[in-house]
Amino acid sequence: METTDAASLDRADMSRLVAGNDAALNSLMGRYSTPVFHFLFRMLGDEDAANDLAQETFVRVYQHRARFKPDAKFSTWLFAIATNLARNHHRWRSRHPNVSLDATEENSDQTLGDRLPTAGPSPDSALQAQERHSAVSAAVEGLPEDMREAIVLCEWEELAMAEAAEILGATPKAIENRLYRARKILREELKSWL
């Protein structure tokens, strides 16, 4: 969530950016590049795509800086841009599936010692955590787009329903309904993990 001080900084930086001070974009990126990346990664489940789209989000901020309304909340506008890019990417990805040829190749340059972990959780608990993470990610990715967006914004990004509604162009009640339906589906899909 954004504090009043951060909101003031955002407005000041956007005013400077609109006035032609391109360095103001660096301040905005410093505050928001990590949250935008995490949001996009959770939406897409692909680190490379999330990184590319996070950069594209700030390109769009720069390109459309004159459209920003000074009385609007910058983070809401920013996450709306990121959400639209994620939607477009998800649609594109569903029409152009990607099959990796590297998935079956093993790195023959590594010794057994290089591949074994030296510290950290036991292999069993690490595997279980990875399986749980994969199951949750797959279940969230399998949700209809509107429910997935609501879950990611409200649960993982911890935004209020009102802010998520503004980002998604919906009412808070619609977001509440999407969250209810998404949680119900996720509980059913993940009942073996609960």
Location of structure tokens 């599936």: 97
Residue 90 vs residues 30, 58, 74, 131: alpha-carbon distances, Å: 26, 19, 24, 23
Mean pLDDT of all residues belonging to the chain: 83
**Assigned CATH for 125-194:** 1.10.10.10
Residue 134 has pLDDT above 70, yes or no: yes
From 26-40, 92-106, 119-133, the region with the lowest mean pLDDT: 92-106
CA angle 56–62–35, rounded 5-degree value? 50
Report the pLDDT value the prediction gives residue 46, as an integer from 0 to 100: 86
| DSSP for 59-118, written as a single string | HHHHHTGGG--TTS-HHHHHHHHHHHHHHHHHHHHHHS----SGGG---TT--HHHHS-S
Closest CA to 4 of 73, 67, 81, 76: 73
> Which pLDDT score is estimated for 4?
62
- C-alpha distances in Å from residue 157, one per residue of 42, 62, 88, 162, 164: 9, 23, 20, 13, 10
Mean pLDDT for 56-65 is: 94
Q: Closest Cα to residue 89, out of 134, 139, 54?
A: 54
Using the structure block, give the residue that is written with the tokens 């841009």: 81
Q: What is the pLDDT of residue 118?
A: 52
Domain range summary for the chain, segments of one domain joined by +: 1-97, 125-194
1-97: CATH, from 3.10.20.600, 3.30.1360.120, 1.10.1740.10, 3.30.950.10? 1.10.1740.10
Please, which pLDDT band fits residue 130 given cuts at 50, 70 and 90? confident
Phi/psi for 171 (5° steps) reads -90, 155
Q: Residue 165 — pLDDT band, cuts 50, 70, 90?
A: very high
Spatial CB neighbours of 129, under 8 Å, sequence gap ≥ 6 = 121
Domain 1-97 identical in fold to domain 125-194: no
Would you say residue 6 has pLDDT above 60? yes
Q: What is the pTM of this model?
A: 0.67
pLDDT of residue 82 exceeding 80: yes
Q: With bands split at pLDDT 50, 70 and 90, how would you rate the model's confidence at 109?
A: low
